[in-house]
């Protein structure tokens, strides 16, 4: 482990000052869809429809990883870690670039580090903590050791270690550490904005269904170890993103914004409470129902005495929107009755409502999602998705487990997470602008 010199401490003070100056009003970074040409996952030989079909299959796999415990609550390790969006960060001094999966369902930042006792292959160089003059391991007795709830002491009883397992049985084990994390912003300055003393995991035992293209995870959950929670010391605990529609990902980049710039005001803003539930790394909303051409279909038990709150997770890493099976059946029937197009055989099992149509589905019904206090009016592309050339499918699906509000339904909206008021805000937008 490198020991910072006096000059290093002075350097950190200068970094803090630089960060404070850069953060007036907040900061914005690129949020890179995994199928964008800017992504290391991008395969130019694939057609847009092949990418669309793979996105649906990843969504199905992710929701199948959402398993519940005996009390009906989701376990703390529910998500596959495929990820749909990536963000560039740097770690250390000198800074090492990390292309990490940005995940609102994860509450830890981590990357692979030597000595790798068991690490999955990655294309980019590993972050080497011994080469960073600002790197520190976290002691077991430190408060920082307990920001993440799955920590323990190493065999020597000194270093804080973490262990995280995902729903596809992938896992990461390593040291809880601190270092400077930098964010490359959309501003004119080419230098990343530095955040000293950020807690992250240096993983030395990592395996499972990880890709060689991604070199870590950036947790954006409400958990205290997530990036947004730790940035609360520099910025208000507020972040927002604006996702460009899937068919635009080859040309435009989505945006992720932190701080006061993530506040949504003006016409069209609607607000719904986020519900505090366990496990804390997920963002829970209360879905009351969905309207098709003005006819509302309510979620059972979402209103009246004894109503169930926090019955849906909002997740940027899931493509489809997954509804309670009994509600989905009603919605599918209403949508089917409203569309006068020939039905098509779905190219994907368990994905049933498809039509012979390319591009915009003419005659698609108006769809409004009703959260507590917030009616979100969807565009046609929020609800329909061309998964194969000439075959457009409904982007909602049934589940008997935890419902999820997926990223297709969020595209061309600013979605703002206020972790102080614990509220979620939506505002229609042109995210390619």
In the annotation, is 82 catalytic?
Answer: no
Q: Using an 8 Å Cβ cutoff, are 225 and 109 in contact?
A: yes
What tokens were used for 54? 């793979």
Q: Which residues contact 99 (CB under 8 A, 6 or more apart)?
A: 40, 86, 87, 88, 124, 213, 214, 215, 216
Whole-Å CA distances, 428 to 30, 264, 365, 375, 415: 19, 10, 18, 12, 9
Helix (H) or strand (E) holding 227: helix 227-230
Q: Which of 82, 107, 179, 315 is catalytic?
A: 315
Q: Which residues contact 147 (CB under 8 A, 6 or more apart)?
A: 176, 199, 223, 224, 225
Q: Of 272, 270, 240, 267, nearest to 256 (Cα)?
A: 240
**Distance between CA atoms of 55 and 213, rounded to whole angstroms?**
17
Q: Is 354 helix (H, G, I), strand (E, B) or coil?
A: strand
| DSSP tag of 343 | B
Q: 25: how many CB neighbours lie within 10 A of its CB?
A: 11
**Distance between CA atoms of 86 and 206, rounded to whole angstroms?**
19
Q: Using an 8 Å Cβ cutoff, are 190 and 158 in contact?
A: no
**Distance between CA atoms of 176 and 25, rounded to whole angstroms?**
30
Q: Of 283, 355, 346, nearest to 312 (Cα)?
A: 283
Alpha carbon distance, N-terminus to C-terminus of the chain: 45
β partners of residue 217 = 101, 110
Whole-Å CA distances, 179 to 100, 108, 269: 16, 14, 37
Q: Which of 82, 103, 107, 179 is catalytic?
A: 103
In the annotation, is 315 catalytic?
Answer: yes
Q: Of 418, 421, 429, 409, nearest to 258 (Cα)?
A: 418
**Distance between CA atoms of 22 and 26, rounded to whole angstroms?**
8
What tokens were used for 136? 């520190």
Active site amino acids:
103, 315
């Amino acid at each position: 482990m490198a020991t910072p010199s006096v000059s290093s401490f002075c350097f950190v003070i200068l970094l803090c000052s630089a960060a404070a100056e850069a953060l007036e009003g907040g900061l914005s970074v690129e949020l890179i869809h995994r199928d964008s040409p800017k992504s290391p996952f991008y395969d130019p030989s694939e057609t847009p429809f092949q990418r669309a079909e793979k996105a649906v299959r990843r969504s199905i796999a992710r929701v199948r990883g959402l398993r519940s415990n005996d009390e009906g609550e989701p376990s703390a390790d529910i998500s596959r870690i495929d990820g749909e969006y990536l963000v560039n960060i740097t770690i250390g001094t000198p800074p090492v670039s990390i292309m990490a999966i940005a995940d609102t369902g994860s509450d830890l930042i981590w990357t692979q580090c030597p000595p790798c006792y068991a690490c999955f292959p990655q294309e980019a160089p590993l972050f080497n903590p011994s080469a960073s003059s600002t790197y520190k391991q976290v002691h077991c007795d430190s408060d920082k050791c307990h920001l993440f709830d799955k920590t323990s002491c190493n065999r020597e009883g000194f270093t804080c270690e973490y262990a995280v397992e995902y729903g596809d049985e992938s896992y990461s084990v390593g040291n809880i550490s601190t270092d400077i994390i930098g964010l490359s912003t959309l501003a004119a300055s080419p230098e990343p904005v530095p955040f000293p003393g950020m807690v992250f995991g240096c993983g030395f035992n990592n395996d499972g269904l990880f890709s060689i293209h991604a070199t870590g995870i950036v947790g954006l959950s409400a958990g205290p170890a997530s990036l947004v929670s730790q940035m609360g010391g520099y910025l208000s605990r507020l972040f927002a993103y604006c996702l460009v529609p899937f068919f635009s990902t080859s040309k435009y980049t989505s945006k992720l914004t932190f701080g006061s710039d993530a506040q949504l005001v003006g016409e069209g803003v609607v607000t719904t409470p986020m519900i505090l539930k366990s496990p804390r790394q997920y963002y829970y909303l209360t879905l009351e129902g969905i309207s098709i051409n003005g006819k509302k279909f309510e979620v059972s038990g979402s209103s009246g005495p004894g109503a169930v709150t926090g019955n849906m997770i909002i997740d940027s890493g899931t493509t489809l929107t997954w509804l309670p099976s009994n509600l989905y059946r009603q919605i599918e029937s209403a949508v089917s009755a409203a569309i006068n197009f020939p039905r098509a055989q779905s190219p994907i099992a368990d994905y049933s409502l498809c039509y012979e149509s390319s591009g915009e589905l003419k005659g698609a019904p108006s769809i409004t999602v009703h959260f507590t206090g917030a009616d979100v009016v969807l565009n046609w592309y929020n609800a329909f998705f061309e998964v194969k050339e000439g075959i457009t499918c409904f982007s909602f699906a049934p589940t008997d487990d935890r419902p999820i509000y997926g990223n297709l339904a969020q595209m061309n909206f600013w979605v703002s997470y206020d972790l102080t008021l614990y509220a979620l805000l939506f505002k229609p937008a042109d995210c390619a602008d």
